[in-house]
Structure 1
């Protein structure tokens, strides 16, 4: 059968293409996508040709799909009709994959698929990977109930990080240079400040004693120089004061310079959460089912794949009002 996919043909070039879908083999399933969700930071970096270890052009981007099993290979644990989350197709014929998420159909090992809980739509489930990254970072940070967390950057991942820390019982204070993103965060219950110049001036008055955790979700290597200034001062004498943990939650294409002297004087603890696990994605879908958060709050729009070129162009604008977009395939 023929499947349809969004493809990146070259730097800045987005299109649609067909590929042949084979029959599922042993332990595999064929999934018909209902929704796929854009991960803006990673996918825009792929589109610019700046993602490490890139696939050859053209390739299918994306790693967040939710849909219905329509055929199962021998020994597969899912049956036709099951609603599942998966990262994307494991086989796209002549097309390369980064990671094959934005496609109408997917072949996948059944152990890579996760049951979508009752009460969670495929629109919401397609958001599970982004939410899982935020959840994973909050756990790796070591933040505990009552801790103060400074979330820097309020793109879709930063918005989710603020929510996850709040669910942990932390006090989250966030900031961004984009006024629309700040307003979105405030509307959804996050204390958020607009940075119009000095980051420390925006956040410092709200956390004068310094935060327990700084979550840098900007993906901007220059931010760390300013952000370290709000980290807690640790006295040289013996004192029961824990240094600030700096969580590098954004992703970067290459080198991330660390201002050594400032980090040294603050005795900063650096942590680099690594994406998310299958268990993280399952957990955030459980939170969705329990009403812990509504993924639709951070999905700017639901669009046809035919509009992909326009959508990626809009998301690439520095002042874009879009957080993320979900493609509807059925």
Structure 2
């Protein structure tokens, strides 16, 4: 099979498309023929050796795939050959085939395309888990989403709206402002020409945002602490801005706020601690809800560009240059 292989850390330029043997099937796992996989900022970090999950070399990057089950391992009960699925993988997604434990594979309705499905395993899952499970978002609350035109941001905007929130989004250009409005944001602030802290306070009658979804970190996180509502929840779910911020405990105390961590890999069993068996039903219900919202038109995964897997360097450079609104999808079978 063809796969993107990194034999040393160093980013996209250190990797190449190779012809390698397919991975062996394992008990409790399924083999998926990958029809679509997502290029992501996380993959850039993995390829540079900077991600918190430092994968051993050689490695195949990629964590989100959609495709068709072509083989099942011993003990698999939930899938059979021919099933249309999405899957979250710790690594290995940038390939024509991937072998995945059935616990991180989910049925995908016929109404959802493979290209759209490849958005769901981590970015839509993370946004749902963060806003519904961890932040306990309630209808009518104000949600502030940073980096709102990126894949993670658009997912958060759409899910917050589906949960009944009023969404304030920050972006860095007029083009991104238009896209974010199309995906449901009630208010959009261009941080390049507006003091977004004052704008958030103005939109909330001085109270601040109830929930803040922050994939940027750095100065953005610091300023968010100055426009969060009492009893508010801030979710630092990424650090695209480069600097990992620290949390002043006095602000947490005085403003009565919660800082909520969300690592979706934990729910997939990628963490250091085993996950309770009940987690499987919870995850499957979450993805069923996400796909129901998609069929209803509440979620509209935006594919910025579609490229063959052979152009993975182009896809990842687009992300590094912050050109992408939504996701870049790669097609391993082309």
- Compute the TM-score of the two structures, normalised by the length of structure 2: 0.83
Q: Is 1:309 matched with 2:313?
A: yes
* 1:146 Cα offset (Å): 1.1
Determine the structure 2 residue equivalent to 1:323.
Answer: 326
Secondary structure of residue in 1 paired with 2:35: strand
Which has the greater radius of gyration?
Answer: 1
Task: Specify the SS of the correspondent of 2:293.
Answer: helix
Query: Does the 8 Å contact 2:154/2:326 carry over to 1?
Result: no
Distance 2:96 2:20 in 1: 10
- Equivalent in the alignment of 2:116: 124
After TM superposition, give the deviation of residue 75 of structure 1 in Å.
4.4
State the secondary structure of the residue aligned to 2:238: coil
Describe the shift of the 1:44–1:281 C-alpha distance in structure 2 as closer, same or farther (beyond 3 A). Answer: farther
Q: Does 1:271 find its partner at 2:260?
A: yes
Residue 145 (str. 1) matches residue 148 (str. 2): no
Aligned-pair distance for 1:25? 4.3
Task: Answer yes or no: is the 8 Å Cα contact 1:150–1:211 preserved in 2.
Answer: no
CA deviation string 1:1-20 (max 9, x = no partner): xx111234421223212221
Where do 4+ consecutive residues of structure 1 move more than 4 Å? 251-255
Contact 1:38–1:326 (8 Å) recurs in 2:
yes
Shift in CA distance, 101/229, structure 1 to aligned 2, threshold 3 Å:
same
**CA distance in structure 1 between the aligned counterparts of 2:105 and 2:217, rounded to whole angstroms:** 33
Moved more, 188-197 or 144-153: 188-197
In structure 1, the partner of 2:277 is none
Alignment CA distance shift 1:69-1:206 (3 Å) = same
Spell out the pairing of 1:1-330 with structure 2 (5 A cutoff): 3-8=1-6, 9-12=8-11, 13=13, 14-22=15-23, 24-40=25-41, 42-77=42-77, 78-88=79-89, 98-129=90-121, 130-139=123-132, 140-154=134-148, 155-190=150-185, 191-196=187-192, 198-232=195-229, 242-251=230-239, 255-275=244-264, 277=267, 278-279=283-284, 280-295=286-301, 298-318=302-322, 320-330=323-333
- Cα displacement string for residues 159-188 of structure 1 (whole angstroms, at most 9, x for unaligned residues): 211111111111111112344322210233
Once the two structures are overlaid, the 10-residue window that deviates more, 180-189 or 31-40, is: 180-189
1:322 Cα deviation from its structure 2 partner: 4.0
CA RMSD of aligned residues (A): 2.4
Mark the runs of 5 or more structure 2 residues left unpaired by the alignment. 268-282
> Which SS does the other structure have where 2:198 is aligned?
helix
Measure how far apart 1:70 and its partner are.
Answer: 1.8
Closer/same/farther in 2, CA of residues 79 and 231 from structure 1, 3 Å limit: closer
Q: Which residue of 2 aligns with 1:239?
A: none
1:152–1:176 Cα contact (<8 Å) kept:
yes
Compute the TM-score of the two structures, normalised by the length of structure 1. 0.83
Contact 1:213–1:245 under 8 Å retained in 2 = yes
Partners in 2 of 1:116 and 1:63 — Cα distance? 17
Alpha carbons of structure 1 residues 166 and 20: separation in structure 2 relative to 1, 3 Å: same
What is the CA-CA distance between 1:303 and the residue it aligns to?
0.9
Gaps of 5+ in 1: 89-97, 233-241
Partner of 1:309, secondary structure, is helix
Paired residues, number: 306
Shift in Å, 1:50: 1.3
